[in-house]
């Protein structure tokens, strides 16, 4: 049977993808961007609305300064330069969930520019440029029910109308779907650390449009891009990009041309589809918003905001490595969320040996979490619990075998280590020298050849004896005690 190779697959090596991402992030302000309505997800439809966010004639927007502060904080965390003066602009388009017929956004004078995020893929660290970060308001939400073309009805919820957003536009610096995934992961992590958004993708607090083109390897000039709109998980962004890369190459290889358009990703099918062409030709007729003054964030305000900037993930990881002697891999796991990192640090400070705490997370916690399909911030054993168990091992009170058994119990019963340890009656590994001495005497008596080697000068044979004694004690003996007692008896 003849095998015909897929043209796109065989041609993949001839092309380079070029990717740029536009990310919208909802800010966690108490009220909306230009009115005092509550900014809250999940309320009954159309309950958080007023003349301003309903777009009623004559209603005037009033700027929410908390929204500005949050946007500036995010921009600073992303290494952007803040423009002291930025301009709000009207972006005009018609949509049923956009009652004013325009969205207040920023256009040629955005709040911030020239930022970057560092990503590491395959051991290589790369700086991804951020072109701009600007402030805008969200539109409402259309809810479709029933079957398109038949019984479909659409309802509009305007609770989201006027909610503050930042849009973060990257440079076309991303060269693969994996890099795009990593960029989104790092970006989200940084935003979460600043606390300006919960980045909850299910609730639409973080949304991504992915722009993609391909070009022959080595060519400077970019190819025509398509934009995959509103993808709601990082995994789907990666999949949609993979699909688009193959599709672009296939079109080009068969002599066709890519049309610049917006597309939607169907995650069930793993395919993208072009959106109706009417929606493609956008002319937003931007013009400066006449109802708002230019936004001025002067030096003084900037430095006040900068003072609230928390330690960011990259810096935190470097510091944890330096302060606690943990590895980069330890640090990566322990900084998955800021709260976990704080927990680790508090525990590590209190523990006798912080490195042991990190080691236990790697060797005893992660595997058990994986088996239960749990994230580390939902571990039954808290960082405090890990530290408590680490101290017990450090002092020789419990053996590693005992620790493992107690961890198993903790995961089975969903209880933290201190509780399990108490409930088990604060077990201790045997320190009863009488019983241990008896075992040691038996082991020595049973191994005359090794004894002879030892006494003949081959001191390393002690390791053999330690092993035998630990085995005979079923792992309950304290290794330090075994060592000390053995040495005494062998040298006698």
Q: Which residues of the chain form contacts with Zn ion (CB under 5 A)?
A: 35, 37, 50, 52-53
- Look at residues 119, 187, 189 and name the one whose alpha carbon lies nearest to residue 335: 189
Tell which positions 195-254 bind ligand ADP, by CB under 6 A.
Answer: 211-213, 222, 225
CA–CA distance, 157 with 144 (Å, rounded to integer): 11
37 binds, among ligand ADP, Zn ion, none (CB under 5 to 8 A by kind): Zn ion
Beta carbons of 231 and 377 less than 8 angstroms apart: no
Binding of residue 192 to ligand ADP (CB under 6 A) = no
Q: Which region, judged by CB under 6 A, interacts with ligand ADP, from 13-21, 264-272, 283-291, 336-344?
A: 13-21
Other beta carbons within 10 angstroms of residue 16's beta carbon come to 17
Q: Angle 177-194/313-324 helices, nearest 10 degrees? A: 80
Beta carbons of 72 and 29 less than 8 angstroms apart: no
How many residues touch ligand ADP under the rule CB under 6 A: the total is: 14
Q: Would you put residue 426 in left (φ > 0), alpha (ψ -120 to 50) or beta?
A: left
Q: Provide, rounded to whole angstroms, the least separation between the CB of residue 129 and ligand ADP.
A: 8
Closer by beta carbon to ligand ADP, 164 or else 172: 172
Closer by beta carbon to Zn ion, 47 or else 259: 47
- Look at residues 37, 76, 72 and name the one whose alpha carbon lies nearest to residue 166: 72
Q: Which residue is nearest to ligand ADP (CB)?
A: 20
53 binds, among Zn ion, ligand ADP, none (CB under 5 to 8 A by kind): Zn ion
Q: Which region, judged by CB under 6 A, interacts with ligand ADP, from 17-25, 194-202, 389-397, 462-470?
A: 17-25
Q: Read off the tokens for 3.
A: 């095998």
Residues shown for the chain = 492
Q: Which residues contact 12 (CB under 8 A, 6 or more apart)?
A: 245, 246, 249
Closer by beta carbon to Zn ion, 53 or else 485: 53
Beta carbons of 231 and 239 less than 8 angstroms apart: no
Closer by beta carbon to ligand ADP, 274 or else 325: 274
Where do we find the tokens 């930022």?
Answer: 115
Q: Provide, rounded to whole angstroms, the least separation between the CB of residue 222 and Zn ion.
A: 41
Beta carbons of 209 and 228 less than 8 angstroms apart: yes
Distance from the Cα of residue 89 to its chain's centroid: 32
Distance from the Cα of residue 182 to its chain's centroid: 9
Q: Taking the CA of residue 249 as centre, how many other CA atoms within 13 Å lie in the half-sphere pointing to its CB?
A: 21
Write phi, then psi, for 171 (nearest 5 degrees): -70, 160
CA–CA distance, 104 with 89 (Å, rounded to integer): 6
Tell which positions 34-93 bind ligand ADP, by CB under 6 A.
Answer: none
Distance from the Cα of residue 284 to its chain's centroid: 34
170 binds, among Zn ion, ligand ADP, none (CB under 5 to 8 A by kind): ligand ADP
Closer by beta carbon to ligand ADP, 245 or else 381: 245
Closer by beta carbon to Zn ion, 161 or else 379: 161
- Candidates 12, 14, 18, 280: give the one binding ligand ADP (CB under 6 A): 18
Q: Which region, judged by CB under 6 A, interacts with ligand ADP, from 15-23, 367-375, 423-431, 482-490?
A: 15-23
Q: Which region, judged by CB under 6 A, interacts with ligand ADP, from 12-20, 143-151, 177-185, 364-372?
A: 12-20
- Look at residues 492, 449, 489 and name the one whose alpha carbon lies nearest to residue 469: 489
89 binds, among ligand ADP, Zn ion, none (CB under 5 to 8 A by kind): none
Tell which positions 151-170 bind ligand ADP, by CB under 6 A.
Answer: 169-170
Where do we find the tokens 């402030």?
Answer: 135
Q: Provide, rounded to whole angstroms, the least separation between the CB of residue 106 and Zn ion.
A: 20
- Candidates 8, 21, 168, 341: give the one binding ligand ADP (CB under 6 A): 21
Q: Read off the tokens for 384.
A: 């405090």
Tell which positions 457-476 bind ligand ADP, by CB under 6 A.
Answer: none
Tell which positions 325-384 bind ligand ADP, by CB under 6 A.
Answer: none
74 binds, among ligand ADP, Zn ion, none (CB under 5 to 8 A by kind): none
Closer by beta carbon to ligand ADP, 110 or else 385: 110
Closer by beta carbon to Zn ion, 53 or else 71: 53
Closer by beta carbon to Zn ion, 50 or else 490: 50
Bridging pattern class, strands 262-266 and 88-92: unpaired
Beta carbons of 469 and 461 less than 8 angstroms apart: no
Binding residues for ligand ADP, rule: CB under 6 A, are: 18-22, 169-172, 211-213, 222, 225
């Amino acid at each position: 049977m003849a095998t015909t190779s897929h043209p796109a697959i065989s041609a993949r090596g001839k092309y380079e993808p070029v990717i740029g991402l536009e990310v919208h992030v909802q800010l966690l302000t108490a009220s909306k961007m230009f009115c005092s309505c509550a900014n809250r997800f999940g309320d009954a439809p159309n309950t958080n609305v007023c003349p301003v966010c309903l777009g009623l004639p004559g209603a005037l927007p009033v700027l929410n300064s908390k929204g500005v502060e949050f946007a500036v904080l995010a921009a600073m965390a992303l290494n952007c330069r803040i423009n002291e003066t930025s301009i709000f602009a009207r972006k005009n388009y018609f949509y049923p969930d956009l009652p004013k017929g325009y969205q207040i956004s920023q256009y040629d004078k955005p709040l911030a520019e020239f930022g970057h995020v560092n990503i590491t893929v395959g051991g290589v660290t790369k700086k991804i440029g951020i072109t701009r970060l600007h402030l805008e308001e969200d539109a409402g939400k259309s809810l479709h029910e029933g079957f398109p073309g038949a019984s479909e009805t659409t309802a509009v919820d305007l609770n989201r109308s006027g909610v503050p957003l930042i849009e973060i536009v990257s440079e076309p610096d991303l060269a693969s779907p994996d890099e795009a995934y990593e960029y989104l992961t790092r970006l989200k992590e940084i935003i979460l650390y600043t606390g300006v958004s919960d980045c909850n993708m299910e609730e639409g607090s973080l949304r991504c449009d992915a722009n993609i083109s391909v070009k022959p390897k080595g060519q400077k000039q970019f190819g025509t891009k398509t934009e995959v709109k509103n993808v709601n998980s990082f995994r789907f962004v990666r999949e949609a990009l993979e699909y688009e890369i193959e599709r672009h190459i296939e079109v080009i290889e068969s002599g066709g041309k890519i049309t610049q358009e917006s597309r939607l990703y169907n995650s069930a099918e793993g395919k993208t589809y072009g959106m109706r062409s009417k929606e493609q030709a956008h002319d937003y007729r931007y013009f400066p918003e006449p109802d708002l003054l230019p936004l001025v964030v002067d030096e003084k305000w900037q430095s006040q905001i900068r003072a609230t900037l928390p330690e960011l993930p990259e810096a935190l990881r470097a510091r944890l490595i330096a302060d606690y002697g943990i590895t980069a891999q330890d640090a990566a796991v322990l900084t998955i969320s800021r709260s976990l990192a704080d927990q680790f640090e508090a525990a590590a400070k209190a523990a006798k040996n912080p490195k042991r705490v990190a080691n236990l997370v790697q060797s005893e916690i992660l595997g058990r979490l994986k088996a239960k399909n749990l994230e580390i911030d939902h571990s039954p054993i808290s960082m405090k619990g890990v530290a408590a168990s680490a101290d017990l091992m450090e002092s020789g009170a419990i053996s590693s075998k005992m620790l493992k058994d107690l961890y198993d119990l903790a995961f089975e019963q969903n209880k933290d280590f201190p509780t399990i340890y108490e409930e088990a009656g604060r077990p201790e590994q045997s320190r009863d020298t009488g019983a241990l001495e008896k075992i040691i005497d038996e082991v020595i008596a049973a191994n005359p050849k090794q004894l002879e080697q030892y006494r003949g000068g081959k001191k390393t044979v002690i390791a053999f004896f330690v092993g035998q004694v630990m085995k005979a004690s079923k792992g309950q003996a304290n290794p330090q005690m075994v060592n000390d007692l053995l040495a005494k008896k062998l040298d006698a």
